[in-house]
Structure 1
Amino acid sequence: MSVPPLTVTAPQLKPPHRYIAIEGPIGVGKTTLATLLAERWSMRTLFERPQDNPFLERFYRDTTRHALATQLSFALQRTAQAAEAAGIVASGTPLMADFVTQKSELFARLTLSDDEFQLYKDIAGRLHASGPAPDLVIYLQASPEVLFSRIQKRALPMELQISDAYLRALCDAYNEFFYHYDATPLLTVNAEHLNPLASDEDLALLLERIDSMRGRKEFFVKGVSA
């Protein structure tokens, strides 16, 4: 009698949370990390689509002139994505995102004049783009110098137009935003010397920190225990 071959399957890796969002400034690696973790935990992904914003390239060339149109376009996009996130979470499907909807105001406050910002808030406030709150937000943090180097390395034509002054202001805005952020549990990760995509050791360190997180706000720097 023939014996059927033994099929060995790897145990399913269960995500530590139902809904995780990864955030950080351009070039920090949030989408790359979100993709890696989503694949590991078999999570649905919901990513920003900057390529769908028809004003973004013009914004990087002339920030002042095109800021309002750019931010309103993103606000509309995030309204649709907030509704999509609500549907995914309601279905019980684990979700990984590379943004939080609250970031819309961060960029608007950074780039708009006072009267334009008030107009933006009036319009955005009617869109109801909050969506479900993540169970965990991971904020990837890096210096402007590191981000600039990574942007230059990946050499996307639109991103190469980003000025040093804008990048520095963006980093300051992110740090200020997440310093006061208390909407969800927050893990701030220094991403300058952490490369979970290329290093299994780095990935293991990050996964351990995510799994062991018990406080409302924690900070993780590779090589530093807290």
Structure 2
Amino acid sequence: MKNNIPYKYICIEGNIGAGKTTLSQMLAEEFSCNLILEQFTENPFLEYFYKDPERYAFTVELSFLTERHKQLQSQLKQNDLFGNINLADYSMVKSLLFAKQNLSPEEFRLFQNIFNLLSHNIPRPDLILYLHRPIERVKKHILDRARQYELNIQNEYLESIQNTYFDFFKTQTLVPVVLLDGENMDFINIPSHFDEIKNILSQEFKPGLHHLRIIF
């Protein structure tokens, strides 16, 4: 398909189980993007975190931060040589938002200092597309994909993650953020739903939060 997307670096964001990776893969195939997928399965502390969050929160968040920084720094620099769109299923700021949710205030202050040191040399996205799904739907997806360490995630935790993203997006003035609210959206099985998302990505958005609601 002809590429009419006016962005060079796009991040797909959303709650746990929102469909970020699937949508990123579909868009990358459609537009021949350089696809950057988070390697969460390589984090050796993730399973321990879900069993004992208080003990392992700082360790798991620091591990995610360093791995995300390493991956983005390497792939964005390498992909710049070819001029294609960079499409990631996460943004660097994800580390900061999950840390804010999971760490104590003292731990978060330390984490934020480390984040600031690492993130200054990672380019800001040209666009963040946030997939907003009802909590019941992301929980169903989590249960359906049956990753053992995720099965005990509570709705309250998912709601807290969602609200942390929303609070952050409200403060954004440097990056366009499109909050896509599609309660009944099924871009995997219904082509017209996927077409709607492609159409959104072809539009130019000014920095700040843009709330779009798709009704099918």
Percent identical: 31
Query: Residue 136 in 1 paired to residue 136 in 2?
Result: no
How far 1:107 sits from its partner (Å)? 0.8
CA distance in 1, matches of 2:117, 2:200: 38
CA distance in 2, matches of 1:106, 1:58: 20
1:60 corresponds to: 50
2:21 corresponds to: 31
Q: Report the TM-score, using the length of structure 1 for normalisation.
A: 0.86
Moved more, 114-123 or 52-61: 114-123
Query: Residue 218 in 1 paired to residue 207 in 2?
Result: no
Query: Residue 77 in 1 paired to residue 67 in 2?
Result: yes
1:14 corresponds to: 3
Contact 1:30/1:140 (8 A) holds in 2? yes
Q: Report the TM-score, using the length of structure 2 for normalisation.
A: 0.90
CA distance in 1, matches of 2:24, 2:16: 14
Contact 2:34/2:79 (8 A) holds in 1? no
Amino acid at match of 2:123: P
CA distance in 1, matches of 2:159, 2:46: 18
Question: 5+ unaligned residues in a row in structure 2: which ranges?
Answer: none
Over aligned residue pairs, what C-alpha RMSD do you find? 1.9
Relative to structure 1, the CA distance from residue 69 to residue 169 in structure 2 (aligned partners, 3 Å threshold; closer, same or farther) is: same
How far 1:117 sits from its partner (Å)? 1.1
2:77 corresponds to: 87
Contact 2:12/2:89 (8 A) holds in 1? yes
Query: Residue 179 in 1 paired to residue 184 in 2?
Result: no
Does the residue aligned with 2:159 lie in a helix, a strand or coil? helix
Does the residue aligned with 2:173 lie in a helix, a strand or coil? coil
How far 1:23 sits from its partner (Å)? 0.4
Question: 5+ unaligned residues in a row in structure 1: which ranges?
Answer: 1-11
CA distance in 1, matches of 2:31, 2:85: 9
CA distance in 2, matches of 1:223, 1:41: 25
Q: Which has the larger radius of gyration?
A: 1
Relative to structure 1, the CA distance from residue 214 to residue 94 in structure 2 (aligned partners, 3 Å threshold; closer, same or farther) is: closer
Q: Deviations over 1:192-223 (max 9, x none)?
A: 21111211111112222222344444222222
